[in-house]
Each structure stands twice: as structure tokens, then as C-alpha cells.
């Protein structure tokens, strides 16, 4: 059975998977219906909810769909550092009248989700924070599912291709959300996306460029460099179909937020978002401990959203956030490709 090939897309736009709310079946279907590849986020939800999201997206489009998974990373959290960080966040938790979450380590039900995907067979499955093992990649191929590996360095590109992925997503330093860096303790690469696309192109024929792309000019530049498509996340955050929460929607167009930065303060893993007070106050002391810090700060972030406070929750976004706007996703996809 021929596997789906990103080069066959009518429009060279891949929607980014955006866990935590922004990715909805409606958004994935809208990007696919516009001629691109719509993505569902498989992380931070149960395997049952993932199956449900795939079914809803399938009911909305007969075109290709992709699903992303977070590959379980080694537990690098140090209990004493996590406890000290919890102590530091205590005052803010009291301010919102909530208990901090339990800083637990989980694998996000990865193995169960792999089985759901082998059963429901979206056209594409992608991985971040590492790469699936060669055995699972082979099972996907045998099930007719193409695999994409998110990479941030040449070494990661080589590792993903060695395991058998069909294509690469080259994620550059300007990307919104978590960096896909395999080693959770490594500082994410700051090499330019241009450099990464070219080096990844020496490892795979099929490279999708991601990170900070939100204008037709930036899309065209990546295609000129040899990328077969671009992946956009931030550009879709304000789309009608996105599930972006109302506080993040407002923050993304609020002039008080002038820049993004990479922080581990919210989740214990490096991610780019709007620079706000929480980030400024807590980034210097936050430990690298994913997903423990994600769970620890969860109730705080939820309370901040409920209270409409943009300074105590994360607003993941790439450096292109000033160019984005609210409209149907189909229009964003069309405009990015100059149609």
C-alpha cells in the first residue's frame, strides 16, 4: 500500500499539532479541506479522547489527516528541585485559591495511543521529543500509515531516518510551543531554520519546515530552500476553528505582550511563548522536569485562565505572532500560499 506523501498535497501547508486546546478536529479538517494536511494533537489527552477526535475529524473531511504523539522522555526530574519549585509557586497558588498539582511522571499513555493509531490509521503519524522505535515505525508502515519525525538538529534527523521515518519536520528556533529536542536536558539548538532545512535535506528527501512562519514570503523562502511544505502553528492560533482559550486569544493581540521567549517555567521543558510575568519571575529557577512541572503548574494555569489573568498561564506562540489574525483557517492556508 502506498503511504501518504507530503509532496502530493494540493497546497504545501501542514497544520501544526497543538496540544492543550488549540488543535481541534474542526481545525484539522479545515486545513485538510483547504488542500493542506490537518493535524490532531495526540498528547495530553486520553487514548479514548484521541480516538474520538480522529472520528470527529474523519466525519468532517475525507482528505488526509495526521496525528502527533509526544514520545516518552527519560525522567530527568530531581525531586528536591521540584519540591523547591513547588515551594516557590505556593504564594501564587494561594493567590488563586488553588492547590498545586501533583508533580507526577507519566508516559502520556503512549503505548495505548500507538495502538489506537494502528487501529484507526490516520494517513500520517508524527513524533516529537524523540522518535518512535524502529519496531513501531515498521508497524505503522505495514498498517499504511506514513511517519514524520520532528527534529531540531542534524543528529536528530539522522537518528529519525535511521529508525525508518518517511519524512522529517525540521523545527527551527522560532517555533511556538515545545521544542522537539530529543535530549530533555539539552539547551535547544539556536541554529537558524534555514540552516536546519538545508542540513535535514542532506538526510531526507522530504523535509517540512516549521517555526516562525506566518507570512507568504516566509513560506515561499522555505520552499525555495528545498522544503516540500511548511508547518504552521501560531498562524492558526486565532483561526475560527482553533480551540485556543479566550485569555490566550486576547493576549496574542494585546500590545502589552511585545515578544516571545523560550522557557521551562510552565512545563519543565523548553517551550516558546509570549513573555509574561510568570515566565519572567520563575524561568530562572524552574527545573527541567517534564512532565512533572506541567502537572504541578496545571491548576494554577487553569485558575489564571478562569480569572482572565494572562500573566499566570502560558501562551505558546512562535516569533511570527504579530502577523496573525482571526478568520477561517481555510483563508489563512490560502493566504500563506499566495492564493
Nearer to ligand FMN by Cβ, of 86 and 177: the residue is 177
Cβ proximity of 300 and 92 under 8 Å: yes
Cβ proximity of 31 and 15 under 8 Å: yes
Nearer to ligand FMN by Cβ, of 210 and 333: the residue is 210
Is 252 a binding residue for ligand FMN by CB under 6 A? The answer is: no
Q: Which of 149, 177, 184, 291 binds ligand FMN (CB under 6 A)?
A: 177
Is 47 a binding residue for ligand FMN by CB under 6 A? The answer is: no
Nearer to ligand FMN by Cβ, of 103 and 173: the residue is 173
Residue 74 CB, shortest distance to ligand FMN, in Å, is 18
Nearer to ligand FMN by Cβ, of 93 and 146: the residue is 146
Q: Which of 6, 9, 13, 16 binds ligand FMN (CB under 6 A)?
A: 16
Q: Which of residues 122-161 bind ligand FMN (CB under 6 A)?
A: 128, 150
Q: Give Cβ neighbours of residue 39 (< 8 Å, ≥ 6 apart).
A: 14, 15, 16, 17, 23, 28, 31, 65, 66, 67, 68, 126, 231
DSSP-derived letter for residue 37 is B
Cβ proximity of 208 and 228 under 8 Å: yes
Residue 70 CB, shortest distance to ligand FMN, in Å, is 7
Nearest to 251 by CA among 177, 305, 332, 173: 305
Nearest to 208 by CA among 169, 160, 157, 167: 169
Binding segment for ligand FMN among 7-15, 85-93, 111-119, 167-175 (CB under 6 A)?
Answer: 167-175
- Residue for cell digits 529557577? 285
Is 38 a binding residue for ligand FMN by CB under 6 A? The answer is: no
Residues binding ligand FMN: number (CB under 6 A): 29
Nearer to ligand FMN by Cβ, of 68 and 93: the residue is 68
225 phi and psi angles, rounded to 5 deg: -75, -10
Q: Give Cβ neighbours of residue 205 (< 8 Å, ≥ 6 apart).
A: none
Residue 272 CB, shortest distance to ligand FMN, in Å, is 8
Radius of gyration of the chain (CA): 19
- Retrieve residue 99's grid coordinates: 492547590
Residue 263 CB, shortest distance to ligand FMN, in Å, is 13
Nearer to ligand FMN by Cβ, of 300 and 317: the residue is 317
Q: Which of 14, 18, 31, 89 binds ligand FMN (CB under 6 A)?
A: 18
Is 320 a binding residue for ligand FMN by CB under 6 A? The answer is: yes
Q: Which residues pair with 157 in a beta bridge?
A: none
Is 201 a binding residue for ligand FMN by CB under 6 A? The answer is: no
Strand order in the sheet with 13-15: 13-15, 229-232, 207-210, 167-171, 146-151, 124-128, 65-70, 38-41
Q: Which of residues 90-119 bind ligand FMN (CB under 6 A)?
A: none
- Retrieve residue 114's grid coordinates: 500507538
Is 175 a binding residue for ligand FMN by CB under 6 A? The answer is: yes
Interface with ligand FMN (CB under 6 A): 16-19, 22, 41, 43, 68, 128, 150, 171, 174-178, 210-213, 231-235, 316-318, 320
Amino acid at each position: 500500500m502506498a503511504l501518504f506523501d507530503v509532496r502530493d498535497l494540493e497546497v504545501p501547508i501542514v497544520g501544526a499539532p497543538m496540544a492543550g486546546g488549540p488543535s481541534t478536529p474542526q481545525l484539522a479538517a479545515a486545513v485538510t479541506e483547504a488542500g493542506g494536511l490537518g493535524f490532531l494533537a495526540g498528547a495530553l489527552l486520553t487514548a479514548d479522547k484521541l480516538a474520538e477526535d480522529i472520528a470527529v475529524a474523519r466525519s468532517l473531511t475525507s482528505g488526509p489527516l495526521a496525528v502527533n504523539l509526544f514520545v516518552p522522555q527519560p525522567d530527568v526530574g530531581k525531586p528536591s528541585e521540584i519540591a523547591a519549585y513547588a515551594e516557590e509557586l505556593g504564594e501564587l497558588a494561594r493567590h488563586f485559591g488553588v492547590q498545586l498539582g501533583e508533580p507526577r511522571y507519566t508516559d502520556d499513555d503512549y503505548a495505548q495511543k500507538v495502538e489506537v493509531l494502528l487501529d484507526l490509521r490516520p494517513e500520517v503519524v508524527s513524533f516529537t521529543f524523540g522518535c518512535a522505535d524502529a519496531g513501531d515505525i515498521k508497524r505503522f508502515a505495514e498498517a499504511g500509515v506514513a511517519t514524520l519525525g520532528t527534529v531540531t538538529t542534524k543528529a536528530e534527523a539522522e537518528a529519525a531516518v535511521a529508525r525508518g521515518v518517511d519524512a522529517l519536520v525540521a523545527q527551527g528556533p522560532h517555533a511556538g510551543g515545545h521544542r522537539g529536542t530529543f535530549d530533555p536536558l539539552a539547551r535547544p539548538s539556536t541554529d537558524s531554520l534555514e540552516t536546519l532545512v538545508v542540513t535535514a535535506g542532506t538526510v531526507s528527501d522530504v523535509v517540512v519546515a516549521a517555526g516562525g512562519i506566518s507570512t507568504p514570503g516566509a513560506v515561499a523562502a522555505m520552499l525555495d530552500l528545498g522544503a516540500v511544505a511548511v508547518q504552521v502553528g501560531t498562524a492558526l492560533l486565532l483561526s475560527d476553528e482553533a480551540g485556543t482559550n479566550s485569555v490566550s486569544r486576547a493576549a496574542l493581540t494585546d500590545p502589552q505582550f511585545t515578544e516571545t521567549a523560550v522557557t521551562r517555567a510552565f512545563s519543565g521543558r523548553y517551550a516558546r511563548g509570549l513573555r509574561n510575568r510568570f515566565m519572567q519571575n520563575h524561568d530562572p529557577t524552574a527545573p527541567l522536569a517534564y512532565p512533572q512541572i506541567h502537572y504541578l503548574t496545571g491548576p494554577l494555569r487553569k485558575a489564571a485562565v478562569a480569572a482572565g489573568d494572562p500573566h499566570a498561564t502560558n501562551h505558546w506562540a512562535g516569533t511570527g505572532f504579530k502577523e496573525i489574525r482571526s478568520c477561517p483557517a481555510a483563508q489563512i492556508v490560502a493566504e500563506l500560499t499566495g492564493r
